[in-house]
Structure formats: structure tokens, C-alpha cells
Structure 1
Amino acid sequence: MTGNVKRRSVIAAMLTAGLVTATPAAAQPAPVAATEYPWRQLMVDTGREYFPIDWLEARVRELSALGMNTLHLHLSDNQGFRLRSDTHPEVNSAQTYSKDEIRALVSYAEGYGITVVPEIDMPSHMGQILAHHPELQLVPAHTTPAEAQQDSLLGGPETKIDLSNPAAYQLMGDLLREFLPLFPGPYWHLGADEYVSDFDRYPQLSPYAVRDYITWASSILAETGKTPIVWNDGLQWPGALGLDPSIIIDYWSAGTAPWIRTGRGPAELAANGNRLVNAGFTPTYFVTGGPASGLNTPPALLKLWNPGIFVDLSTLPAASRSQLIGSGVFVWCDDPTAMTPDEISGPLSERLVIMADKLRGR
């Protein structure tokens, strides 16, 4: 299926399901009582593609001019680890941000009223780190051809750290504690996405492994008073959610494809007391290259989007709608060679203007 056909299919599905409508946004019912969402962000995937500091500073100025307030930096992924580590220099990519560069960027952003939210994505998306620590890679008990194909879509087992190995926590803890002091803001993104769902292949893991990782990592963040943020798709352990209600959840996916109704819905998470950011793959993601770029929502359709409708097509009950704190634009560089930072700037700015208007008021 070509990108244009995929895009038309997504548009048709969104219109049919009600994720957007042909009715002007101003005529749609307001999803929350407030006139402004408090969380208005841009996320940049610097883990896969290196973005120069001056490019990031330009985005800070742009966010400030648009009335947005959060810059989320996805600083690690399978293709790169961008924070220059002294405790584990072996994991550093060829292009990294020094500690002085990060301090200066955070200070620069603060001057424009922008909070920088860092993310070191664990326990999955760790290909760059685990290439230097193969002894910590998660090894499946068996792999069929079908399972190998599915693995390849998510980076393979070599991109996931073995949460049953105590040495895994030593490495992850070293990295968290090294970089926590660089970011004085109140938030830290723990990742926790796209780890394991087929636990029969990994008998060494507890089905609660991701929950236990989040709890463990949150205790480290608590040492500096930071609030954790996680992606929603990792919250798939059996039984009750049992998640600390202070954790903020980026709700991006509802199953193996973003618009399939599976897993825990936004209402369940809100009922637990958690705040939510609407990070729906459709339509908040801008993927710069690779197969998923064919699913990018055109700006014209983004104008019709209602931020109160999640990717599973649900809305929060009236009593918990204030727990939807905002949304943003998420730039993913699945193919880091597809677009240069300068080529990304134009289409990103077009989307930021629309998103800023959506989140500023209704």
C-alpha cells in the first residue's frame, strides 16, 4: 500500500469513526471545561536523529511565540544515545550533547517559559546501549519465523534489556542518576513502551516486569522530586492497574495498531487518578520517514481534530475530563536519513501553529 493510499485510508477511518468530523472545530462540544490545556508540547526524537542545539533553540522560540510550554526530548533510542555519559562512555553515539550544552539549552528554554522534559527510553528501545552490553540483552526462549518478523518491527530482542537480570538495574540506575541533575524541571519521561507482550517466549520475566520497572525507576526520580511520565502501551500487566496516580501517561496507542480498541482505555487510567496527555498516533505524530510516515495526518485534517477524543475513539467521563491535561506534536525520525532538521522545520511549524490553536482554547 502506498503512502498516499494509507493516508486516505486513515482519513476515511477517522472521519467514519468520529476522531475528526467535517464540522468546524468551534462547533464541536468542548472536551473539558477549561479554556486552555496546561500541557502544550513538542516532542523531538533526537535519539534516532541528532538535532543541532541551535535548531532546538529555534524550536524553543517558536513554542514560546505560539503559547506552548513544553519541549520533550526523546534522547535515546536504538539508533542513538545523545547524552554524553561519563559513567558509561561506551554507550555514547558519535554525536552527543555535552552536559554544558544541555545546561545551556535548559536555561535558554526557561528564559522563554519552556520546560524541558527529558526521556531516556527504557527498558526497550535500548539498541545503542545494549550493543555495548550484549550480556544484558533479553533473550527469548524460542523464535518462530512469524515471531522474528514481529520482532523486527519493534527492533528485535537485542533492543530490550533483561529485567530479570540485576545487572540491568545497575546500568539503568547509573544513567538515570548521572543525568537527573542536568534537568531541574519537575518531569522525567521513563519510556516503558514496546517491551514484551508475549511472556510465554520470556519465561525469565514476570508479567509485571514493566510495572516493577516503572515503580523502581520512579523511586529514583523521587530522590529529586520529579514526576514520572510513561507511554501507555506498556501498562498491560494482568489484573488491576496498581500504578501510582501521580504518574502522567502519554496515551498514544490502543493496541497493535493505534486505532484498535485493546488494552487499558483512557477512562480506566483516569479513574486511577492519573493525568493523561493525548498523544494519539493519529493525528499528533509527524513521522519524517519510513513506513509509518504514510500515516501522517495532513495539516488540513488536524484542523478538524478534537483533542478530547483519544486514539481508541473514546472520551473521558465528565467527572474526569480535567485529567486530560493536553497534547502536542510528536516528531519521530524512524528513518533518520529521510529529512534533515532544516527540512523538518517547515512541515513541523505548520502543525505546531494548528496544535497551538487547538490547545489554547475552544
Structure 2
Amino acid sequence: MVAAPLPSAAATVAAHEPPVTVPALANWTPQGGSYLLGRHTRIVVDAGDTAARRVADTLGEDLRAAGHGAAPVAVGGDAAVRREDIVVDVDPTRGKDLGKEGYELTAGRTLTVTGATEAGAFYGTRTVLQLLAAGARIPAGRTVDVPQYAERGVGVCACYIHITTEWLENLVRDMAYHKLNHLLLELKVKSDAHPEANSWSYYTKDEIRRLVALGAKYHVTIVPEINSPGHMDPWIENRPDLQLTDSDGKPQPSRLDVTAPEAFAYYTSLIDEYSEVFTADSWHMGADEYMLGSDFAKYPHVLQYAHEKYGPDATPQDAFIDFVNRVHDYAAAKGKRLRIWNDGLTGDNTVPVKDGTTVEHWLNVKTKPSEILAQGYPLLNASYALYLVRGGFHMNTKSLYEQRWDPRSFEGEKVASSEGITGAKISLWPDNGRGETENEVAASMDLPLRYVAQTTWGVPNPDATYEAFAARAKKIGHAPGHRDLTRLPVAEGTYTLRDTRGRLAPANWRIGRTADGYATLTSASTGLCAETRSGKLTLNTPLQPGTPVTQETCSASNTLQRWQLTEVRGGYRLTNAITQMAVHVTADGRMLQYPADQRPPAVWRLSPH
């Protein structure tokens, strides 16, 4: 009889290491055996535990989406817990050790997830899904997993260009999968009260309602932002009466006049409209870069306003802070806490910002993070080092990992304690709107998102090297339900394009696939490529509805020549990858672009040529 070989030292160590997750499990107690997800697995909750039932229902959907089959929800007395079951429990008495978002997970013959709150139990199920990404068998063990920071976020500026709701939905799912819980979203909601502000890049209220509902389901709080009183040009470019006017009589389209009652009324009316569709208990007003490229000396009436309201020692900065504080009070009356960026806090004011205002620190200015903390303001780390700019600066995740970066490391200062720091976020900015496509941005943010999830929930460096952490993140993959937006739904080749009214697109088109998963359309007769380039440029992007799609010299680097083909009933929708406007054809054969809510997108039938 041959004796069984003894396990190697490496195998023994591996058996005692925590299974792979992002964020990593900081404390894992291994036990003998394993849990096996099987054909008879159920998700078991107590009768009457509506919070656990919601978590269980979402887990069941996600198990199916991940290819793990159907696991029915069994309630209370339906049957005793049995082998292969997943038990979800919300136990408020566990608040002391689990807090608001922590959970306990135990794997053995059954799998048990316990949270003191619905959010905690939900995050435990995200760990379950990640463990199952490696296979149906989970090593037996136990963990109590509690986040280090309350706010673990991503900021997205969809404020000048339109980002597809499909892309944002993918982001929400991936955030939740990695236990990120705040999406700070600067965008334009199409206004009923102010139709003069509805230049393209907006979202309809129904689109936002669907996104907010998805966020609520996945415990991602979506906080809206309308940046003010600077960066208001998307809203007031057609309202010179609200624009700050300099001493030469020249209005500034990006600056709201903080001294004008009409300007405050206009801004707060936008808060009212956003409150119809956003349910978050926070309001982000930005308040950054108000005097970017200028100074208050060119606007003497601002100082006059400050003197009249706060006395002869007041500064122009006090007029700015006064506007911030009035917005604070207005938002508070609607049950919302105010958030602002830090660079408006120059220290030149005599009037303080209202207590309770969260400050998001991104820029190294005179007033340091330690001073903001000492003054008692909640502080979020939104460092420039955590930025991803389209066609510009990208967060160097490898460098941050090797530096052991954590949310105490602000621009210009590292503070000693995490007390008062709410967390951290990465920020996506469209400074060059055509610099990268959405698919390119999604690829470039994979590791930054996962690293911020790691360092806000747990320890900054769970692995000895950045490469090992990258491998960890790759193994976990994307969230269940994540849509592959890089899939080209037709074979490459030459096609005739005809809409459902029988109108032909000019020429036959060779459809090719780009490296980032879009299509190029090359005229078979001219060798030129379809492109949209006409009209007023915003962030280097043509965003005027009704402008033509023309044939131009082909360039692999020109993102305006990339097109999204989406399969719909009866054919395909054709949308520009950058402008996010759909292509239409006129009776005389001209191709034009329009937003979907202005003209229903044409449905194209493609016939191989």
C-alpha cells in the first residue's frame, strides 16, 4: 500500500490564506472542508425579515446573471436549513461589532451571511459572488469584514458631454460588487422649468429615475451635482441676465452672479427639479474655481455686496461664502447635506462655511486638510492623484500602491489620523471630450476603481506587489449583469444601410471593428470615413443636434469616426461614440445626428453587399 503524499508547504500555506476577494478579507479563520453551491441551493431568510428578503432577491438575480443557476428564496418555516443553502440574516443586535456596513460570513456545509443592517448583509453577498467567481466550491472559514471609511466613491462629470446610461449602469454594478457606495454625479437633467438651458448632454428625468433605482437596489447612493457659482455655463449660457459681469460690462457665461437674488432663485429652482428624481440626502454644489483665470477686483459690486451684508471688514470672498451658505440652508430645508470642493476655501473670508458642510479636497491651496478637519468639517479625499481625465492625466495606480497610499494622503499634506475623514473617491473628467471613448475610459479605470475600493474598505496593500494585486482584481472580474459594451453585433464587411422608412444611407459602407469595440464606416466608393464634426464645439466635441454626418479622411485615432451599433427590434441603432447622438437620414440622402428624445433613433437594416 502506497502512502498518500504529504501536502507541500506551499499548499498548506495556501489552504490557510483568505480566499481571493477585492477588497481583500483582512481576517479569515480557515476551517476544515468547503461549501459547495449546487443544484439544490436555496437562499434562506427569516419570515418577516423584509430587509433580508430584498438582499436575498438581489442575490438570486445576480447568481443567475453570473451563470450559477436559479437559487429560489425560501422563507422561514418553508423548511429547515439544509446542506448547500445560503442563509441571509439581518440582525440589528450585531451593530456593535458589524457597524452599519460590516458583515460576518461563515462557510461550511452551508453559507451564512449576517449583517446588522440591510447594507451589511448586502455587502456580504457581494463577497459570496466574488468567491463563486473562482468556482462553485468555497473553502470553509469565517470572516468578520468591516469597512474602514464610510464613503467609498467614484465621481463622474457627465456635465458637458453625455455618457450613456448603459455605461453608468455598468459602473453602479461594478461599484457595488467591490463595496463602493457613493457615486457623485455631475450632470444636466433636462429641465421643464428652464427649457432655455436644455442644450445637448442632458439626461431625461426618466433616465435618472431608472439609474437612481438601480443605485438603491445595489446600495450605491447617487449624489447629484450642479457646480456653482462657477462652471455654470451649461445652465446659463443663454441667460446673460444671471451671469457675473465685470467692470468692463462683459458678462461671464460660466459665472453666476452671487449678488443677484434672481441668480440664487434660479439655482435653487434647479435643486427643486433635481429633487424630483434624486433621492440622496446630499447635494453637491461644487463651488470650485469661481475666480479661475480672474480675480474679484474686476467685479467691484461683489465687494460692495459683502460690505453691505457683513460690514467694512468683509472681503469679496465673503460674498462667495455667503452664496454657499444660502445654498446650504436651502438644501438643509429639503433634508439634504451640502458638499463642496475645497479650493474655494482660500482663507481670505471672514464668514465661515456653515457647520456640517462636507469638503471634498482635491487641490493643494492655502487652507490645508488639517485645518479643515480642525474646524470640524467632514473631509473626503478627492485628490488630483485619483483623477482620470479623458485624453489627459490618468491616476498612476501602480505608484500609489507602491507608496502605500491611503485616504489620509491629501494633495500637499498627509494627516496623522483618519478621524473626520469620510473616505476617498476617484474622479472622471471629460476635459477633452473626444480624447477617449467610453470603452477606453472603462478599461483605464478598472484597476483605479478596485484600488480605491481596497484602500477605503480595508488595508492599502493586501499583496506584496502591485502585480499581485492586479492579478487579484483580474481574477474577480466584473459584477454579474455587467454588459459587454465592446461587442460588435455584426460581422465586419460591406453593407447597404436602409432605415425602416426605406431611405438609403448614401453609399455602401464597409463596417470595421476598432480596438475599443466600436465600428468604423468607410464608404466603399470614396474610401472616406463617416464622421461628425460640424457645429459648436464643447470640450472639443460637436454637440449641436441636427448637424451633419459627413465623409472625411479616415484616421484610426479620430474618435469622432467611431460608431456604436446597437441591436434593436427590427434592425440596429447607429450612434456616434462621442456625441451619443443617433444617425438619421433625410429624404434627400443627408445623414444627421439627433438626441434620442428629440427624434426617435432611426432603425437601420443592414444588407450585405
TM-score bin, normalised by smaller chain: 0.7 to 0.9
Equivalent pair of 1:210/1:235 in contact (CA under 8 Å): no
Question: Cα RMSD (Å) of the superposition?
Answer: 2.1
Counterpart in the other structure of 2:406:
306
Alignment of 1:75-94 (within 5 A): 75=187, 82-94=188-200
> Which whole-Å deviations, capped at 9, do the CAs of 1:79-111 have from their partners, x for residues lacking one?
xxx201000011012242111111111111110
CA distance in 1, matches of 2:446, 2:224: 21
Q: CA deviation at 1:49?
A: 2.2
1:218 aligns with 2:318: no
CA distance in 2, matches of 1:327, 1:266: 13
Q: 1:238 aligns with which of 329, 348, 353?
A: 348
Counterpart in the other structure of 2:284:
189
Equivalent pair of 1:228/1:248 in contact (CA under 8 Å): yes
TM-score, normalised via structure 2 length: 0.47
Q: 1:162 aligns with which of 257, 260, 285?
A: 257
CA distance in 2, matches of 1:176, 1:322: 31
Q: CA deviation at 1:241?
A: 6.0
Counterpart in the other structure of 1:172:
267
Equivalent pair of 1:42/1:72 in contact (CA under 8 Å): yes
Seen in structure 2, the aligned counterparts of structure 1 residues 157 and 302 have a Cα distance that, compared at 3 Å, is: farther
Worse overlay, 41-50 or 94-103: 94-103
User: Which SS does the other structure have where 2:412 is aligned?
Assistant: coil
Percent identity of the aligned residues?
31
Q: CA deviation at 1:35?
A: 5.5
TM-score, normalised via structure 1 length: 0.78
CA distance in 2, matches of 1:68, 1:359: 8
Q: 1:108 aligns with which of 214, 217, 241?
A: 214
Alignment of 1:9-88 (within 5 A): 36-75=148-187, 82-88=188-194
Counterpart in the other structure of 1:227:
337
Equivalent pair of 1:84/1:99 in contact (CA under 8 Å): yes
Counterpart in the other structure of 2:387:
285
Equivalent pair of 1:117/1:187 in contact (CA under 8 Å): yes
User: Which SS does the other structure have where 1:132 is aligned?
Assistant: coil
- Which AA in structure 1 matches 2:219? G
CA distance in 1, matches of 2:296, 2:281: 34
Equivalent pair of 2:244/2:255 in contact (CA under 8 Å): yes
Q: CA deviation at 1:350?
A: 1.8
Counterpart in the other structure of 1:297:
395
- Which AA in structure 2 matches 1:54? E
Equivalent pair of 2:347/2:367 in contact (CA under 8 Å): no
Larger fraction in strand: 2
Q: CA deviation at 1:126?
A: 1.0
Q: CA deviation at 1:40?
A: 0.4
Q: CA deviation at 1:44?
A: 0.8
- Which AA in structure 1 matches 2:456? L
Equivalent pair of 2:190/2:205 in contact (CA under 8 Å): yes
Instruction: Note the residue ranges of structure 1 that are not aligned, 5 or more in a row.
Output: 1-25, 27-33, 76-81, 149-155, 256-262
> Which whole-Å deviations, capped at 9, do the CAs of 1:255-306 have from their partners, x for residues lacking one?
3xxxxxxx2111111112111001111x1111112xxx2x433221121323
CA distance in 2, matches of 1:58, 1:288: 18
Counterpart in the other structure of 1:99:
205
- Which AA in structure 1 matches 2:239? H
Seen in structure 2, the aligned counterparts of structure 1 residues 37 and 136 have a Cα distance that, compared at 3 Å, is: same
4+ residue runs over 3 A deviation: none
Seen in structure 2, the aligned counterparts of structure 1 residues 72 and 310 have a Cα distance that, compared at 3 Å, is: same
- Which AA in structure 2 matches 1:348? M
Equivalent pair of 1:227/1:246 in contact (CA under 8 Å): yes
1:315 aligns with 2:415: yes
Q: CA deviation at 1:346?
A: 0.5
CA distance in 2, matches of 1:216, 1:140: 23
Equivalent pair of 1:39/1:326 in contact (CA under 8 Å): yes
Counterpart in the other structure of 1:264:
367
Counterpart in the other structure of 1:141:
247
- Which AA in structure 2 matches 1:127? D
User: Which SS does the other structure have where 1:342 is aligned?
Assistant: helix
CA distance in 1, matches of 2:442, 2:201: 20
Equivalent pair of 1:73/1:116 in contact (CA under 8 Å): yes
Q: CA deviation at 1:133?
A: 0.5
CA distance in 1, matches of 2:380, 2:248: 36
User: Which SS does the other structure have where 1:160 is aligned?
Assistant: strand
CA distance in 1, matches of 2:161, 2:446: 18
Equivalent pair of 1:235/1:241 in contact (CA under 8 Å): no
Equivalent pair of 1:251/1:280 in contact (CA under 8 Å): yes
Counterpart in the other structure of 1:78:
none
Q: CA deviation at 1:168?
A: 1.1
- Which AA in structure 2 matches 1:274? Y
Equivalent pair of 2:159/2:201 in contact (CA under 8 Å): no
CA distance in 1, matches of 2:211, 2:180: 17
CA distance in 1, matches of 2:324, 2:264: 12
CA distance in 1, matches of 2:279, 2:334: 9
Q: CA deviation at 1:142?
A: 5.5
Counterpart in the other structure of 2:467:
none
CA distance in 1, matches of 2:349, 2:330: 25
Q: CA deviation at 1:237?
A: 5.2
Equivalent pair of 1:190/1:228 in contact (CA under 8 Å): yes
CA distance in 1, matches of 2:377, 2:286: 16
> Which whole-Å deviations, capped at 9, do the CAs of 1:25-79 have from their partners, x for residues lacking one?
x9xxxxxxx961111001111002211111111000000111110111011xxxx
Larger fraction in helix: 1
Q: 1:341 aligns with which of 420, 428, 438?
A: 438
- Which AA in structure 2 matches 1:359? T
User: Which SS does the other structure have where 2:274 is aligned?
Assistant: helix
Q: CA deviation at 1:341?
A: 1.3
Equivalent pair of 2:406/2:456 in contact (CA under 8 Å): no
CA distance in 2, matches of 1:202, 1:240: 19
1:253 aligns with 2:363: yes
Q: CA deviation at 1:199?
A: 1.6
Equivalent pair of 1:177/1:220 in contact (CA under 8 Å): no
Seen in structure 2, the aligned counterparts of structure 1 residues 253 and 169 have a Cα distance that, compared at 3 Å, is: same
Larger Rg: 2
1:275 aligns with 2:372: no
Counterpart in the other structure of 2:295:
198
Counterpart in the other structure of 2:20:
none
